[in-house]
Each structure stands twice: as structure tokens, then as C-alpha cells.
Amino acid sequence: MSLLDDLIEAFRVLPGVGPKSAQRMAYHVLERERAGGQRLADVLAHAVETIRHCERCRDFSETDVCTICASASRDQQLLCAVESPADRLAIEQATGYRGLYFVLQGRLSPLDGIGPRELGLDLLDRRLGEGLVQELIIATNPTVEGEATAHYLAQLARAHRVRPSRLAHGVPLGGELEYVDRGTLSHAFGSRGEMP
């Protein structure tokens, strides 16, 4: 197996990259983007080594506590739970939200062995127990598992006398938050309702 074969194989670790596009990536970098390829290699190695999870919100962070959690200008009474860093980014970019986040890094899925512990809900439990948070905005995806997770989170919030809310209808059913257009997401976020 040649180094070129190794490179093609290595590209297949990326999502949605099959044998043919892995080959195109390898050839493209070697033919036209050696400097960019070297940079990708450097940044990737550094990122994989350095980027970990924020101790407060579980989002990606280069430091123990991420910049959003460390910011004095964010509203400590609002906490928004999302499934992924991509969802966190989508809300941050689309809405004027100035509260804090909690990134589940998944959703409840007992069949896949993903329970409360895997989603860091012990951490969330302690966080809600601190007494600062007044409202837990539950922004899990409107899928079956996302809804089940939302109900679990709502119960957890109520146990701490924190008001759970859910994004308003507007987010398409079965859709992934990450792909919702900004306008829809912003509207849904703004008109979120208390969970029944």
C-alpha cells in the first residue's frame, strides 16, 4: 500500500467522503494545494490535540471554560440546551440570544446506549441546582429522540423550579435545526413557548 493509497484512505474519515471523492481530494491537494494541504495537516493535528470540552457547557473549547461561558455580558438566568455545537452556532448566528448554552453532544437514545450520563445531565442537574438559571430553553431537534430528550430535560428543570421552554412551531417537523434558514430559526427562537 503506497503513501498515496494511505492518504486516500485517511480522507475517508471525513463525513460523506467515499472512495472516489477521497481520491479526488488526495489528487487535488497534491496537484494544486500543497501549501493548503500542509496547513490543513498542521491545524488538524493541533485541533485534535488541543480542542476539548468546556467544563460548564460541554461545547468545544480550547480552554477549560469557553469564551461564552466566561463572558460577563451574557445573561446568567437563561440557559439554552442544544444537541450539538453546530446547533449552538446556528442559534448564536441567527438570533439575538444573550444567555448561556448547554451542549448535550447528542440526544437520548437508549438503544444506542446514550443515556442521561452520556449527555452530561449530571452536570446540567448541578448547574440548575445552583439557583441562577430561571429558564431552560430546550432547543433539541424536533425528531422523536429530540422530543423525548426535551421531555426529560423539562422534568429536570421543573424539579429545580426552573421554567422549561421550547422553540415555537416554525422549525419544520423532522428537520435538523442546523439546516433551518436564519429567518425561521430566529422567529421560532423569539416566539418560544412554555412547555406544556
Q: Which residues bind a second copy (CB under 8 A)?
A: 2-4, 6-7, 10-11, 13-16, 21, 23-31, 33-34, 36-51, 60, 62, 67, 84-86, 89, 105
The nearer residue to Zn ion, 69 or 119, going by C-beta atoms, is: 69
The nearer residue to Zn ion, 12 or 53, going by C-beta atoms, is: 53
Per CB under 5 A, does 127 bind Zn ion? no
CB of 79 to a second copy, least distance (A): 21
User: b/e map of 26-55 (b: 16 or more CB within 10 Å)?
Assistant: beebeeeeeeebeeeeeeeeeeeeeeebbe
CB of 99 to Zn ion, least distance (A): 12
Per CB under 5 A, does 107 bind Zn ion? no
Measured in degrees and rounded to the nearest 5, phi and psi for residue 99 equal: -90, -160
Which entry of a second copy, Zn ion, none binds 126, CB below 5 to 8 A by partner kind? none
The count of residues in the chain is: 196
The nearer residue to a second copy, 43 or 144, going by C-beta atoms, is: 43
Q: What is the largest CA-CA distance in the chain?
A: 61
Q: Which of residues 18-77 bind Zn ion (CB under 5 A)?
A: 54, 56-57, 59, 66, 69
Half-sphere exposure of 153 (CA within 13 A, CB side): 34
Residue partners of 167: CB distance under 8 A and separation at least 6:
137, 138, 139, 188, 189, 192
Which entry of a second copy, Zn ion, none binds 140, CB below 5 to 8 A by partner kind? none
The nearer residue to a second copy, 51 or 159, going by C-beta atoms, is: 51
Which is it for strands 60-61 and 75-82: parallel, antiparallel or unpaired? unpaired
For the sheet with 135-138, list strands across it. Answer: 99-103, 75-82, 135-138, 163-166, 193-194
The nearer residue to Zn ion, 78 or 188, going by C-beta atoms, is: 78
Q: Using an 8 Å Cβ cutoff, are 39 and 46 in contact?
A: no
CB of 48 to a second copy, least distance (A): 5
Residues that bind Zn ion (CB under 5 A): 54, 56-57, 59, 66, 69
